[in-house]
Structure 1
Amino acid sequence: GELFSGLQRDPREVLSTGFQESHREMVILKNIPFYSLCEHHFLPFHGQAHVGYVPDGRIVGASKIARAVDILARRPQMQERLTGQIADAITESLSPDGVAVVMEAEHLCMTMRGVRKPGTTLITSAIRGAFRRRAARQVKIDGEARALPTVEVLPKEEYFFDFESRYEIGKTEYVCPADLPDDTAEQASRLAIETYRLLGCYGFARVDMILGRDGRLQVLEAQAIPGLTDTSLLPQAAEAAGIPFEQLVERMLDLALARPGTPAPV
């Protein structure tokens, strides 16, 4: 019947009626309602699909994407498979630079039977093309939080690390890696990573600490947008880790572009 009408249709036929257009920035269609049937329990699941793609000279009407979602949903399905099928249909039909699909749905097999947890939402995603390449680079670069070498800040003329000491060249000596006992340096790295994760930082961040007379480290702040000037600490730490400035900037850009929701470059 109508619940399985998608079995008789090919979503690529709907998507084949696109047209040439020079627009090469991300196109996003959000909150597309869909209804499907779980092939394991034969109970419905329903929710919303969000589709984004970066055209490579060819676009398609928004209604065509919604129809493609509907065609693929009106079959016995698994949400994970459905998400990938939508991404593949768009990829095969439009040959875009990249495709990203996110689906969120409530499954009645979770609501009406078994654990009986109404309101539980399953979120699945599928990425293709440029989105997948960027995500892979992100995992390679920042798949696991990593602490760069610690930078020790030593003001030359003042006991306090004030504005002039921070921003005037020659007022402060920077030692990297810091001249610290091994256990203190390891503790600083662990504390930096814990702070980074706790605050939900992304990409590169600088965690400032102070070492007390009792040997204890205390976090002062986390700087989510580290500087790249002659007196900035991030480039010094990166250089000590064997990362040249140009490569550091490239990695920062890669991570920024890989972040979900970031518009693709033209």
Structure 2
Amino acid sequence: MPLVSGYDVISECTSRGLVAGAFNTTNIETTMGIIDAIERAGIPTFIQCAPTNAVLSGFEYIYDMVARRLAACPVPVALHLDHGKNLQAVEDALAAQFTSVMIDTSEEAYEENVRLSAKAREITPADISVEAELGAIGGKEDEVGPDEASGTDPSQVADFVARTGCDMLAVSVGNVHGYAPDARIDFDVLRRVQEQSSVPLVIHGGSGLPVEQFARLHEYGVVKVNIASDLRNAMIRSFGEAYAANPHEHSLIRVSRNAVTAITEAVERRIRQFNPAAN
């Protein structure tokens, strides 16, 4: 089916008690692997791309790859801008026909974060969902990370959501981008955030979290969990193993197909871990 708005994925998940995975794509192998897994699992999902993911291709190529492959997919999927660090990134993703966007100015002072997040909502069409971030999530994504991580302050949540008009709120409650062996969701803080938020919550850094924490997230108003490192590791590992097994390997298509399979398995595993009751 055609790409749907992020609103459609949010609505479907909240009405069914599901948590949408949000999987970062960079190239054709990643895209194919993600959508193969979505078809297997049958759970509404976000496919996303950060500006750092699109350095080689640009957002337009990402849109073309995703939209073309989704034409034969019966599951609702939105194409989401991940970590748009400025309004220009939001405008670029909208121009490329993304159906959901994130403005992440969480490293700014509170009032500036509010102002820029509200402006992102203002310039985004009403039928496209907007995610904003309160509290800077630690770790690095594509070697980019905040100078200083900070947790989400529950006392700021209601004001932030009301003044920005965001539709999803990314929070920093112990989650960390990338693989962080000590990352753990602080469910006490997450509950306090949920109590103050009128919109669904988003957890970034899902690749490094303990599996046993995933099944609880829907109880705390979480509608979306971001996964990137798992997919990249699966692809890099697949190519590395092929080279280690045969340094003279020349069949790029065979190695690429094996990478797609590895990505599919990683994505499907995460979708099912987020939604054990739907398995």
TM range (shorter): under 0.3
TM-score scaled by length of structure 2: 0.23
TM-score scaled by length of structure 1: 0.24
The structure with the largest alpha-carbon Rg is 1
Instruction: Report which of the two has the higher share of helix.
Output: 2
Instruction: Report which of the two has the higher share of strand.
Output: 1
